[in-house]
Amino acid sequence: MCYQSRIIHHKQAGFLQREKYETNLTTMKPSDEKLTLKQEAALLALLDNNTIEAAYKAAGISKATMWRFMQDANFQASYRASRRQLVETAIAQLQKHATTAARVLVSIAEDKDAPASSRVAAAKTILDQSVSAIELMDLQERLEKLEELEAARAAMETKGRFRA
């Protein structure tokens, strides 16, 4: 099934519900501007293929058309959002199996019959990940405190403006 047919099929089935963005120099905000059928085919082809050349051929468009699409801010934003969605989905799959992975590391670290190098590598991974998790939680806590302070400062500044 070609990409354009797949898009029509997915649209009919309600699968294409990607957020569209338009960009300006400083922010990305939601946009109602939709991609054309050819742009969506190009986007899917870019996600499925390793090279731009393979993508434009798979999408059934010319190299020049792909280049024009890739210069379009809305297409670029949609492509970035789609790539982000793919990565987030992959990360969710990995997180789903994190407990199993942790159990495997612990069992290797505790296995007296395992080679010493495997036990050391497992123990090092456990320690490294534990330290990283604590550092990340500390950073998150600090960020939350800074956000609270900023919100309080902004509220005080707003109150001062209205009273003056």
Q: Does 33 have pLDDT greater than 60?
A: yes
Q: Does 7 have pLDDT greater than 60?
A: no
pLDDT tens sequence across 8-31: 555 555 444 333 333 333 333 445
pLDDT at res. 20: 35
Q: Does 144 have pLDDT greater than 90?
A: yes
Of 9-18, 43-52, 62-71, 124-133, the one with minimum mean pLDDT is: 9-18
On whether the CB atoms of residues 41 and 49 are closer than 8 A, the answer is no
pTM score: 0.54
- How sure is the predictor about 1, in pLDDT bands with cuts at 50, 70 and 90? low
Query: DSSP for the chain?
Result: --HHHHHHHHHHHT---PPPEEE-SS-EEE--PPPPHHHHHHHHHHHH-SSHHHHHHHHT--HHHHHHHHH-HHHHHHHHHHHHHHHHHHHHHHHHTHHHHHHHHHHHHH-TTS-HHHHHHHHHHHHHHHHHHHHHHHHHHHHHHHHHHHHHHHHHHHHHHHH-
pLDDT tens sequence across 64-94: 999 999 999 999 999 999 999 999 999 999 9
pLDDT at res. 39: 95
